[in-house]
Structure 1
Amino acid sequence: MKLSEVTLSHHYADLGDAFGTPIEPTPFRHPRLIDTNPAVLSLLGIDPEEATNPAWAQLGSGARLFKGSRPFAMKYAGHQFGVYNPDLGDGRALLLGEIEQAGRRWELHLKGAGLTPYSRFGDGRAVLRSTLREYLAGEALSGLGIRSTRALCIVGSDEPVTRERIEQGAMLIRVAESHVRFGHFEYLFYTKQLQALQQLIGEICRRFVADSEGLSAGGQAEALLRFTTRRSAELVAGWQAEGFAHGVLNTDNMSIIGDTFDYGPYAFLDDYDPAYICNHSDHTGRYAFAQQPGVVLWNLNALAHALSGVVEVDTLRDCLEQFQPMVTDAYAARMRAKLGLATEEESDHKLCAALLQLLQHSGTDYALFFRTLSRYRGERPASALRERIPPAQHSELAQWLEHYDSRLARENSDAGRRSPAMLETNPKYILRNYLAQKVIEAAEKGDYHPLRTLRRLLQSPFEEHPQHEAWAIAPPESAKRIPLSCSS
């Protein structure tokens, strides 16, 4: 499909006035295309040759609309740091419409598009720094097999935007199958719009929840909660296994279909630290890395409360009780794969826990250790692994390896088959904050080559890419805890 042939539909905006407000974007005066994502072009069925079409600068800045587009600011609410806030919504973003491709419907969402009725005290803009971080994060998690929103393109400008400092403005077109958040349901519940709430439940069920057709309103709401609980459990298990900290898991930042959503002060772990807090505004550690499964469950409870007008409390409770076993099972499966274990044993959780304790005690780089372990063949001394661990923990490493060797022996594991499988599970390239900062600093000077290089690496993070070894090394000590804020 050529870019000129893209035509958008509007299933969400057509739901009615209860769900938001039609409004036109406020375009940049002199937009410039920074990057277009070939992988997302393919996802949408757009010809890859269109990546360099100069029209992207206009489309990605709101200066020109796709055929059929009717921009729409979505209204929602949410719990932020545990406190309900009714005054939320698309304060700087607009739902442009939807593309249908190969039986799937993809929503296009223009972020940084200017003031809306829900901007509150904001300016409706986004800055280049945060836009680049969101663009890269979607590719990083997608490359690791974790569901995420993605972005089609980034457009920059010279227009100043004030945050902690004056920065360059930017926009991106975010792509997801749905932009509906937990907070959409909370808004309709707390404002007593029961008919609209049931309408939204029905819309999501029709699109995503198998076998929900013909169910009563209560049956659909129960099916939706079970669906979202399962998808959220799978999502957070992936985050924990791959060392991803979201940073601001408010209910308005939780996707009803279980995508990673609304990237702000996120981070991938460098040294393994379960207490790691990536958001410098999170003074209590509510959203610390190890707290994420519990916070997701808290958010699911908030969603369940929003459905309590149509579902019995006992049924809601039964739905939520499935969450922890689902997280445990999904996390265990991912960790067995990272350890190269083809079968399941009851004691595997102890083997995994002992390794994580070792990594925590030693302050060892999480991703690099697992990548190195992927090439382990039972040799003694395990020189490559010992180089990852400080000498003070070498005896602890040796003890763990004895248990690991015994576990591999029980399933007659062959290193010749195990190692390639682990190398396709444990990434060489992750989106470290110091790498993102390198890209940001170059882009602010007009150099977009580092951005495109890192994007490609994150889209195939398990491949060697020997010409790009410098992108795979651990950060210097001074770059391990770059302060991150929600401002964008």
Structure 2
Amino acid sequence: MPVSRRYRPEPRFPDLGSEFCDPVAPAAFPQTTLRYRNDRAAAEVGLEGLTDAEWIAHFGRFEPLPGQAAPVAMRYHGHQFRSYNADLGDGRGFLAAQLRSGDGRLLDLGTKGSGTTPWSRGGDGRLTLKGGVREILAATLLETLGVPTSRAFSLIETGEALQRGDEPSPTRSAVLVRLGHSHVRFGTFQRAAWHERPDLIATLVEHVRGLYHPGVAAGDVPGLLRAVVEASARLSARWIAAGFVHGVLNTDNLNVTGESFDYGPWRFLPHYEPGFTAAYFDQFGLYAFARQPEAVFWNLTQLAGCLKLVAEAEPLTEALNGFGPAYIRELRTAFLMRLGVHSAGEAADQTLLDTTLAFLRESGAALRWEPLFFDWFGGFASSARALAGPRAGLYRGETFEAFRAALFDHESDRPERLEHPVFAAADPEELLIDEVEAVWAAIAARDDWDPFAAKLARLEASRGAYALSR
């Protein structure tokens, strides 16, 4: 097969053995129609040269890539809405491959909808086509907005009619492949702790430390926790700055690298609303927009509890308590990034954060979340553009003036980005629920993929315009 010299297979998780994963076989699908392939991501791991037929063979029928181990379903437990569930694990997906990217990171190719496993719990192991489309859209915009995220790598329609209780059925089926920086979850540690196996915890600690946090010294368990805490604080801050609500922040949906993945009932904020939820079943707002940092911290405490089997409690508590300061620091950085300005010092950066949130809060439903960052991207350099745009009438009053003064205290970061044609548009690219449903409706009603492709093209243009770091 035409892999490039950049293709560097390195299957490592299967080496941990049967306490951590189970060999599985993919489903035999009646149909394999390629709907999406991420050639930019494929180029990072040396797979961009695959023909469509080869792509389908590897990511629809799951013929093994060179140098890879057999697919494995990963074992884990988890708190789901804070109720412990010892009957979890990869129930409709598996780890298909691991390989190094050009920058040396170990990446996973993980599936969703690839068939039943020992952990399917009576489910069919399938994914709806709509679910695959939604995950592609979510991951693409999150990457555009600078959130550390897995990326949708492939979507292949599989020709089955699925029955679901939460959407019109029967509905079309698909198998998704995502490229991500580890699928080792907090729940992976929880399973070992539940079985009272400090030996497995120690094995997992060294696996994670060596592969994902090599700057931590061997045997330094609190140091590893500190690294995971800092990565998780960064992720939480980037979600908030992006106006994103993950929806299901269970311990099996957070991983050790601080990379967002597995997008189910996600939403982007229409406007500032701290209690906004993404999941219809989150009746008490446990994972509401503004409660996401709290949810992540609670999950980190569960991880720390597992690590007590192999380390003293006091240094683990100290590492855990670093979350709050790290989150505030990362939130300031995330808002600077979203507004396209340089730091002006901690005090000035905090003032900018506070005044931005105050203005969004005061504006309420009159001002959508994303357009504020679009209009004022680059600070003073965008003043004329913002005050001549469609939201000019909203940019007035004492709270706005405080925001503008704080913004103008910060120097523009790479103001040449404003020359991109994206900034000549009246509105930014967003993914509010009505647009997501409209994209899907075209596919469901007419098998019309043009709106989906057009949206992805516009998001790619925005990614180039913002040029935010991952």
Distance 1:20 1:368, change over 3 A: same
Deviation of residue 433 (structure 1)? 2.5
Q: How does 1:146-161 map to 2 (within 5 A)?
A: 146-161=147-162
Deviation at 1:451, TM superposition (A): 2.2
The CA deviation at 1:462 is 5.0
Contact 1:372–1:385 (CA under 8 A) maintained in structure 2: no
The corresponding residue for 2:56 is 57
Contact 2:148 2:258 in 1 (8 A): yes
Map of 2:401 onto structure 1: 402
1:73 aligns with 2:73: yes
Q: Which moved more, 1:445-454 or 1:27-36?
A: 445-454
Q: Which residue of 1 aligns with 2:108?
A: 107
What is residue 17 of structure 2 aligned with on the other side?
16
Alignment correspondent of 1:472 = none
- Answering whether residue 367 of structure 2 is matched by residue 368 of structure 1, we say no
CA distance in 1 between partners of 2:171 and 2:61 (Å): 20
1:384 and 1:274 mapped to 2: Cα distance? 27
Alignment-derived partner of residue 140 in structure 2: 139
| Aligned positions of 1:19-98 closer than 5 A | 19-47=20-48, 49-50=49-50, 52-62=51-61, 64-67=63-66, 68-98=68-98
Note if contact 1:378-1:405 (Cα within 8 Å) is conserved in structure 2.
no
The answer as to 2:188 corresponding to 1:189 is no
Q: 1:409 to 1:21 in 2, by over 3 A?
A: closer
TM-superposition CA deviations, 1:358-390 (whole Å, max 9, x none)? 32343110111221233766669945375463x
Distance 2:222 2:187 in 1: 17
Please show how residues 386-401 of structure 1 align to structure 2 within 5 Å.
Answer: 386-387=391-392, 389=394, 397-401=396-400
Q: Distance in 2 between matches of 1:265 and 1:324?
A: 27
Secondary structure in structure 2 of the residue aligned to 1:93: coil
Tell me how far apart the structure 1 counterparts of residues 36 and 58 of structure 2 sit (CA, whole Å). Answer: 13
Stretches of structure 1 lacking an aligned partner (at least 5 in a row): 466-488
For the residue of structure 1 that corresponds to 2:76, the secondary structure is strand
CA distance 1:358–1:409, shift in 2 (3 Å): closer
Find the residue that maps to 2:149 and give its secondary structure: coil
Alpha carbons of structure 1 residues 348 and 204: separation in structure 2 relative to 1, 3 Å? closer
Which stretch of the first structure deviates more once superposed, 231-240 or 104-113? 104-113
SS in structure 2 at match of 1:76:
coil
The alignment yields a C-alpha RMSD, in angstroms, of 3.0
Match of 1:384 in 2: 389
Residue 180 of structure 1 corresponds to 184
Over 3 Å counting, the alpha-carbon distance change for 1:378 and 1:137 in structure 2 is closer
Q: Report how far residue 405 of structure 1 moved.
A: 4.7
Could you say what secondary structure the match of 2:19 adopts?
helix
- Alignment partner, residue 2 of structure 2: 2
Greater CA deviation, 64-73 or 122-131? 64-73
Find the counterpart in structure 1 of residue 173 from structure 2: 169
Residue of structure 2 in register with 1:245 after alignment: 245
Task: Tell me how far apart the structure 1 counterparts of residues 106 and 297 of structure 2 sit (CA, whole Å).
Answer: 28
The TM-score normalised by the length of structure 2 is 0.87
- Deviation of 1:456 after TM superposition, in Å, equals 2.8
C-alpha contact (below 8 Å) 1:142/1:459 kept by paired residues: no
- Which region of structure 1 is more displaced relative to structure 2, 378-387 or 6-15? 378-387
CA contact (8 A) 1:340 1:419 kept: no
Q: For the Cα contact (< 8 Å) 1:340–1:421, is it kept in 2?
A: no
The answer to whether the 8 A contact 1:80-1:250 is kept is yes
Give the whole-Å Cα distance in 1 for the aligned partners of 2:311 and 2:242: 35
Task: Classify 1:408/1:104 alpha carbon distance in 2 versus 1 (closer, same or farther; 3 Å).
Answer: closer
> Residue in 2 aligned with 1:443?
443
CA–CA separation in structure 2 for the residues paired with 1:303 and 1:415: 37
Could you say what secondary structure the match of 1:285 adopts? coil
Could you list the runs of 4 or more consecutive aligned residues of structure 1 that deviate by over 6 angstroms after TM superposition?
4-7, 421-424
Aligned length: 451
Q: Distance in 2 between matches of 1:319 and 1:464?
A: 37
Q: Residues of 1 paired with 2:228 and 2:413: CA distance?
A: 38
TM-score, normalised relative to structure 1: 0.84
Structure 2 partner of 1:478: none
TM-aligned CA deviation for residue 71 of structure 1: 1.1
% identical aligned pairs: 30
> For residues 436-481 of structure 1, what are the alpha-carbon distances to aligned partners after superposition, in whole Å with 9 as ceiling and x for unaligned?
222222333432232222223223425579xxxxxxxxxxxxxxxx
Measured at CA, do residues 446 and 381 of structure 1 come closer, stay the same or move farther in structure 2, by a change above 3 Å?
closer
CA distance in 2, matches of 1:429, 1:405: 23
Question: In structure 1, what is the Cα distance between the partners aligned to 2:417 and 2:127?
Answer: 43
